[in-house]
A and B are shown apart, each in its own frame.
Chain A
Amino acid sequence: MPAITLTDLTLGYERHPAVHHLSGIFQPGSMTAVVGPNGSGKSTLVKGIVGILRPLGGRIERQNMKKHEIAYLPQQLEIDRSFPITVLDTVILGLWRQIGIFGGMKRELWAKAEEALRTVGLSGFEMRAISDLSGGQFRRVMFARMLLQDSPVVVLDEPFTSIDSQTTIDLLKMIKRWHAEKRTIIAVLHDFNQVRDHFPETLLIARELIGWGPTAEILCDENLTLSRTMSAAWDDEAEICAEERV
């Protein structure tokens, strides 16, 4: 299982840093919550990790894993929910790396897809159109798809936003199962209680790194106060940052 190493990483948009000089390691098999106020660079950070965003400075090393092997659930899905496609066909996309453009679906792969749907509690929904699903059911479909991706690293950006408590409990169970299978989990979250209860590691960010380590140590009052006072600077006149922190 590969580790993900960040070295003096700066990410941002139009040269303005949204994540500033971040260094650290996501250990193999670790389960880390990324928390911080709105605009603190959480989504930006995970976009960098999965390779959608190029760093403005510093490095991200994924050891000998390709960025396409990371299973990623973005916050803003680009999915067209009105597209005429069935639940089963959507879930099967998770097998893309196995079947690619031309590969056929073998019997055991169909069985795997059915199994994934059963795991997320959507047996019997195989032939339903995704336009017929509720928000929570659709999130379950996304998890089933990630299940099939069978990736060593799973990155989730606010996976439980606008989802009811039962669905959240079920999906959390799946995340913990992935953790037990020694996969590396990185999840952007807002609910501190949830983080305290379920996530061993926490990365607290407010553009700059505030703390990264065992959850109980990181989520202390002092750090949280600090995170709220960090300014999200967006100054067009700002000088070019020449600092290096390694």
Chain B
Amino acid sequence: MTDAVLLQTIMFYIFAAITVASGVMVISARNPVHSVLFLILAFFNSAGLFILLGAEFLAMILVIVYVGAVAVLFLFVVMMLDIDFARLRSGFMRYLPIGALIGAILLAELILIFGSWAIAPGIEGLKAAPMTATAAHGAMTNTRALGDLIYTRYVLAFQIAGLILLVAMIGAIVLTLRRRGGVRRQRIAAQLARSRAQSVAVVNVPVGGGAGEPVEPVAAGE
């Protein structure tokens, strides 16, 4: 074993150990905020594992998307919500069978895949030479390789995934959007659409008579 490989192996075990340990802490920490923070630690170390694999693009995207956006929202929600820990814990035994079942299924699937049980023989070829379509380009960065594959061979899957996300996003907005009465909002368009005639009135004031009744300007956006 050469020195470089040894160093990589050591780094791998460090990252992997921290990932697994923080994964355990995510589900066992008493405070949900601590759980989310451990989740972030787990994401980070997974990014480290990706870098060891030479997949620097995936590592950065993992940090940007999961740590930088998703986990922020998690943290946001967990901090804002008033979570009743006692009630949360009381359901533990009730949900244990279902959780254990799901865990067992996932474990079985992982064993199926990594136990080299060829479920779909076509996949084996892909696994052996995933980059055949672009092998002619020779050495390329993995950002470029991913781009070449996603926008050529997998363009349909990519677009469909994007479309599903778009629909989900619009659905979430539609479900949560509500217009309440009695809320004063700034309406920029109405403000900008105001004309001089609507807002200023020139009054010829007689001496000693005062300006009289104020001329109501047409209020913006009413």
Tell me if chain B binds chain A.
no
Please list the residues of chain B having a beta carbon within 8 angstroms of any beta carbon in chain A.
none
